[in-house]
Chain A
Amino acid sequence: MKKISQELDTELLLYLDGQLKDTAREKIVLALQQDEALRQRLTQLEAMESSVKNNFLEIPSKNFTHLVMQKLDQYPAQPSSFNMLNGIWLLIGVLLMSAIATVLVSSGVFDQATGTLDLNTVKLPSLNLKRTLPSIPIDGKLIINITILLNLGLCWLVFDRAILKPLFRRRLQIGR
C-alpha cells in the first residue's frame, strides 16, 4: 500500500473533524476520488474514531462513591518510588554486607581494634579550656556489632516494604 505523507494524514484528520476550509476540503475530496490508498487510510481513521468513541467511557465499580465517602478522612499516602526490584537489590546488598561483617567479627579481625580518643590532644585554637577533657574509649568490635544490628533492622524494613506489603496488597486485589 502506498505510504501516505504526514501532511495528507493531517488533512484527513482535519477533514474527519470537519475543520477544513472550503478550498482545502474540495481538494481533499478530489484527492480521495482519485487515490485508493487515501480512501483506505480515511476508512482506517474513521474506524479508529468510531471504535474509540463507542468504547471509550469506562464505568467504575458500583460502590465507588461509597468507598470515596468512607475514606474521606484518610488522606492518600504519596506513592513512593520504592519498588519491589530495587527493594530486593537493596535487601541483597545489606544482607551481604551484614554477613561479611559478621564473618569478620567472628574471626576476630576487630578484636584488636580498640583505643581511646583523648580530647585533650585535639587542638582547639579558638577555645580556652581550663578543665581537662575526658577520654572516650573506642571499641571497634562493638561499633561493628551495632552496625550489623542496625543493618538487620534495615533488612526487616526493606523486606516489609518491598516484598510483604506489595504481596499482601496484590492478594487483597485478587480477593476483591
Chain B
Amino acid sequence: MTNDPDHILIDQLLAGDREVYAVLVNKYKSYAFTIAQKILQNRPEAEEAAQDAFIKAFHHLASFNRESKFSTWLYRIVFNTAISYRRKNRQQFQSIETTIIEYDQDADGMLEKIDKKKYLNQAMLKLSEADRGALTLFYLEEFSLEEIAEITGMQANTAKVRIHRARLRLADELKNILNHEALTL
C-alpha cells in the first residue's frame, strides 16, 4: 500500500471520482505552466499546451506505472506537448513584448519585475528549446539530474552538460542584452 498522497488521489480518480483531478491540477499547474511557458515563450500557447498536457495525463492515468513520481511523469507529458506545439508554430512569431503578464504585486515592483522578466525571456529565447526545457527544470529546483534526464528524454550526463552550457550561455546572453540596453538608454 502506497503512502504517496498523489498515488492515493490517483486511486480515487481511477475508481471514478474525477473531481479529485482538480486537486492534482492545482498542485502542479504552476510548474507545468512554467515549463510550457519557458519552452514556448508565448503565454496563450503555453496555457493551451499545459492544459492539453493535463488532459492527456488524465486520459493515460491508467498507464502510469508509479515507478517514478507522478510529477515527473506529468512534466514529461508537459515537456513533450510544449515541444510539439513549438514545432507546429515555429514559423508563427510573436514578440515577447506583446505577451500578457499577470501579477498581483504593486505597480512599481511589477514594472521592475516585468523588465527583469523581459530581459530573462529575451535571453532564454536565444537558447534552443531543449536547453530552455532542461534549464527550466533545473531552476525549478524540484528535480534531480536523473529526473530531469527522464523528463527530457536525455541521458543524465547529457542533461548535466546541457544544463551547464545553457547556464553559461544564458549569463552571456543576459550580459549582452543588458549591455545593449545600457547603450540605447
Answer yes or no: do A and B interact: yes
- Interface class of chain B by DSSP: helix
Question: Is the Cβ of B25 less than 8 Å from the Cβ of A76?
Answer: no
Which A residues are CB-close (under 8 A) to B117?
55
CA distance A53 to B25 in the complex (A): 23
Q: Which residue of A lies closest to B46 (CB)?
A: A58
Count of residues in A whose CB is under 8 Å from the partner chain:
38
Q: Does A13 contact B (CB under 8 A)?
A: yes
Question: Is the Cβ of A58 less than 8 Å from the Cβ of B52?
Answer: no
Which B residues are CB-close (under 8 A) to A76?
52, 55-56, 81
Distance to closest chain B CB from A164 (angstroms): 15
Q: Nearest 6 CB-CB pairs, A to B?
A: A76-B52, A60-B33, A79-B88, A48-B171, A58-B34, A58-B37
Question: Is the Cβ of B88 less than 8 Å from the Cβ of A75?
Answer: no
Out of A9, A68, A81, A84, name the residue touching B25 (CB < 8 Å): A68
On A, residues with C-beta under 8 Å from B are: 9-10, 13, 44-45, 47-48, 51-61, 64-65, 67-69, 71-72, 74-76, 78-81, 83-85, 166, 173, 176
Q: Which residue of B lies closest to A66 (CB)?
A: B22
Interface members, chain B 52-93 (any A CB < 8 Å): 52, 54-56, 58-59, 81, 84-85, 87-92
Question: Is the Cβ of B139 less than 8 Å from the Cβ of A59?
Answer: no
Distance to closest chain A CB from B29 (angstroms): 5
Distance to closest chain A CB from B60 (angstroms): 10
Which A residues are CB-close (under 8 A) to B37?
58
Distance to closest chain B CB from A20 (angstroms): 14
Query: With A80-B88, A84-B92 in contact, is A44–B51 under 8 Å at CB?
Result: no
